[in-house]
């Protein structure tokens, strides 16, 4: 994966590099709000069609589609393939749906990178979608088994027999939980644990959250976010265009944030609705191409993928600390130091998780005890992180966030003529993802 910049610019026989050519997302809206009547496929389709049109990309050029999605609707066994069929891409285009919790779209993008770098694909659409408004509600196991038994029974008596023994509680629908299967802890409870273990103060969490809202509001004001957000036309529930993110709180303040009650530990906690990312609907798509293909089509890559890494930790410990391990690994693979990185997009699941990650990166004890390194990974200047705000203000549609981070970073690197950038995303299961981008 890692390669020197010298080989990157390489000659005729240099290996292809995976270039971020374009990206687009839907507005990110609070679950249960403006997209509540839409289907997950419609949302993914809307942004992908718009992206292809804006790029004037011949659909026949697309070799593969990889899409992330976490709360998978039962009717789509392979959402990415349905996306191919719904967007009018050639029916011969293979597609796969990936899930890595909040880092699902990172997985889609690094899978696309692998295809391109091996020379197996020249053009890949990678992204992700989440509709937390319409999470698949399933049946309890006893009820599901009884219904299957009933459907297989040959006689009415047999059918009734299958349903015997069901308790009232078995009829209760089961919604997917934002909780770890192995520990039973929700993401919020895990963030709370991290805040306590790392001594992350409430006022620092609120300060980070305030910055997220202020930067996001400014980025809408000056047109930066408008460039990467496509309107979604909701036609099945009163015709209207949804054009903007709807969670950004322009008028929030440290005082308002301080007044909010902790949600996940009501008595001793510090994680609130204000310093957490909200449940969100949204989709994001990115077009990756081999650098040669981009050149042949007359397109200028915004950035190329220089390296990436994943690392997982024990979910019973600091569940969302994975990026503190994945970041140094991705940097090592790129032959870089943290101080080489000019811009960062760090997914903000919770302010407590961001601040814990930054703390670990700065800690010599963490470096020696956990990473086997002599020195701390380094300090990241908060001014370099999340130029247009992060998931706390923008929202966090699980399957889409990784693509939003990669796309926003690539745009910002182009805008600021930054050479090197880093994306980091924490995910359920204790997984952390890190991707290093480089401008050619
Ligand atoms: C934290 C969480 C439970 C809050 O849900 P919620 O109660 O629907 O949140 P709301 O946005 O309605 O906020 C609750 C209250 O705080 C207020 N509030 C929230 N953020 C605020 C801010 N920045 N400034 C001022 N007030 C704020 C709201 O106005 C609301 O007030 P009200 O009750 O008077 O209307 C929910 O967002 C959640 O579960 N987030 C975590 C998601 C998650 O686990 N993701 C996975 C990450 S890995």
Q: What is the pTM of this model?
A: 0.94
Lowest mean pLDDT among 135-144, 278-287, 385-394: 135-144
Percent of the chain with pLDDT over 70: 97
For the segment 167-184, the average pLDDT, to the nearest whole number, is 84
Provide the pLDDT for residue 14.
86
pLDDT score of 5: 41
Residues in the chain: 440
Instruction: Please name the helix (run of DSSP H) or strand (run of DSSP E) that holds residue 163, with its range, or none.
Output: helix 156-163
Q: Is the pLDDT of residue 4 over 80?
A: no
Kindly report, residue by residue over 218-233, the tens digit of the pLDDT.
999 999 999 999 999 9
Residue 364: its pLDDT value, please?
98
Q: Which neighbouring-strand residues pair with 279? A: 396
* CA 192–ligand 1 middle distance (angstroms): 15
161 flagged as catalytic: no
pLDDT interval class at 8 (50, 70, 90): very low
pLDDT computed for residue 189 by the predictor: 96
Confidence of residue 12 (pLDDT cuts 50, 70, 90): low
pLDDT grade for 10, boundaries at 50, 70 and 90: low
Q: Can you count the helices (H) and strands (E) in the chain? A: 15, 12
Selection from 103, 102, 104, 84 nearest residue 93 by Cα: 84
User: Which residue minimizes the CA distance to atom 47 of ligand 1?
Assistant: 349
Strands 232-234 and 240-242: antiparallel
Q: Say how many C-beta atoms besides its own lie within 10 A of residue 142's C-beta.
A: 14
Residue 176 has pLDDT above 90, yes or no: no
Query: pLDDT for 14-69, tens place per residue?
Result: 899 999 999 999 999 999 999 999 999 999 999 999 999 999 999 999 999 999 99
Asked whether residue 7 carries a pLDDT value surpassing 70, the answer given is: no
Given a cut of 60, whether residue 331 has pLDDT beyond it is yes
* pLDDT confidence bin for 139, thresholds 50/70/90: confident
Burial class from Cβ neighbours inside 10 Å (0-12, 13-18, 19+) for residue 1 reads: middle
DSSP state, 276? B
Please provide the DSSP assignment of 387-402 as one string: TT--HHHH-B-TTTHH
Return the best residue to mutate from 257, 273, 391 for the ligand 1 pocket (most ligand atoms within 8 A of CB): 273
What is the per-residue pLDDT for 9?
A: 46
User: 135 is written with which tokens?
Assistant: 């999470």
Helix (H, G, I), strand (E, B) or coil at 53: helix
> How many angstroms separate the alpha carbon of residue 227 from the centre of ligand 1?
27
Residue 3: pLDDT over 80: no
With 70 as the cut, is the pLDDT of residue 111 above it? yes
Q: Quick one: which of 142, 107, 145 has its CA closest to 127?
A: 107
Task: Out of 64, 247, 311, 396, pick the active-site residue.
Answer: 396
* Alpha carbon of 178 to ligand 1 centroid (Å): 15
Would you say residue 360 has pLDDT above 80?
yes
Mean pLDDT over each residue of the chain, to the nearest integer: 94
- CA dist 412 and 409 (Å) reads 5
Nearest CA to ligand 1 atom 18: 274
Provide CB contacts within 8 A for 21, sequence distance 6+. 55, 287, 288, 289, 294, 299, 301, 302
- Tell whether the model's pLDDT for residue 152 goes beyond 60: yes
SS3 166: coil
What are the DSSP calls for 336-386, one per residue? --GGG--EEEE--SBHHHHHHHHHHHH-HHHIIIII--SS------GGGB-
Looking from the CA of residue 247, the nearest atom of ligand 1 is 11
Q: Which two tokens stand for residue 284?
A: 């994001």
Atom of ligand 1 nearest to the CA of 353: 48
Question: Is 396 a residue of the active site?
Answer: yes
- As a whole number, mean pLDDT of residues 104-127 equals 98
Residue pLDDT, tens place only, 223-267: 999 999 999 999 877 789 999 999 999 999 999 999 999 999 999
Torsion sign across C-alpha atoms 176, 180, 185, 188: negative
138 pLDDT exceeds 60? yes
């Amino acid at each position: 994966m890692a390669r020197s910049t010298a080989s990157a610019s390489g000659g005729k026989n240099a290996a292809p590099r995976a270039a971020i050519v374009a990206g687009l997302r839907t507005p990110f809206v609070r679950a249960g709000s403006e997209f509540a009547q839409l289907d997950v496929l419609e949302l993914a389709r809307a942004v992908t069609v718009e992206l292809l049109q804006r790029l004037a990309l011949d659909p026949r050029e697309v070799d593969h589609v990889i899409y992330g999605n976490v709360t998978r609707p039962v009717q789509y066994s392979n959402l990415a393939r349905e996306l191919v069929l719904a967007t009018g891409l050639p029916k011969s285009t293979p597609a796969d749906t990936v899930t890595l919790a909040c880092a699902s779209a990172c997985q889609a993008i690094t899978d696309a990178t692998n295809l391109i770098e091996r020379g197996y694909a020249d053009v890949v659409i990678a992204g992700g979608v989440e509709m937390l408004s319409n999470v698949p509600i399933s049946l309890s196991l006893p009820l599901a088994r009884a219904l299957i038994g009933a459907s297989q029974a040959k006689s009415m008596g047999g059918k009734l027999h299958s349903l015997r023994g069901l308790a009232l509680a078995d009829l209760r629908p089961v919604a997917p939980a934002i909780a770890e299967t192995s520990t039973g802890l929700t993401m919020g409870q895990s963030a709370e644990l991290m805040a306590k273990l790392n001594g992350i103060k409430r006022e620092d969490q609120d300060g980070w959250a305030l910055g997220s809202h202020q930067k996001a509001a400014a980025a809408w004001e000056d047109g930066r976010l408008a460039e990467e957000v496509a309107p979604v036309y909701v036609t099945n529930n009163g015709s209207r265009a949804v054009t903007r993110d709807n969670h950004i709180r322009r008028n929030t303040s440290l005082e308002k944030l301080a007044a909010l009650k902790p949600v996940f530990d009501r008595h001793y906690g510090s994680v609130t609705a204000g310093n957490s990312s909200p449940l969100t609907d949204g989709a994001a798509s990115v077009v990756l191409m081999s650098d040669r293909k981009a050149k042949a089509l007359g397109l200028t890559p915004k950035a190329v993928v220089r390296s990436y890494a994943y690392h997982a930790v024990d979910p019973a410990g600091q569940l969302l600390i994975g990026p503190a391990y994945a970041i140094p690994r991705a940097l090592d693979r790129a032959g870089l130091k943290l101080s080489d990185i000019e811009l960062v997009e760090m997914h903000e699941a919770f302010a407590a998780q961001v601040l814990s990650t930054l703390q670990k990166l700065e800690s010599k004890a963490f470096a020696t005890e956990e990473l086997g390194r002599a020195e701390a990974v380094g300090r990241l200047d908060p001014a370099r992180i999340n130029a247009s705000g992060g998931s706390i203000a923008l929202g966090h549609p699980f399957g889409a966030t990784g693509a939003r981070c990669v796309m926003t970073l690539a745009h910002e690197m182009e805008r600021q003529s930054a050479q090197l950038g880093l994306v980091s995303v924490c995910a359920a299961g204790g997984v952390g993802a890190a991707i290093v981008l480089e401008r050619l």
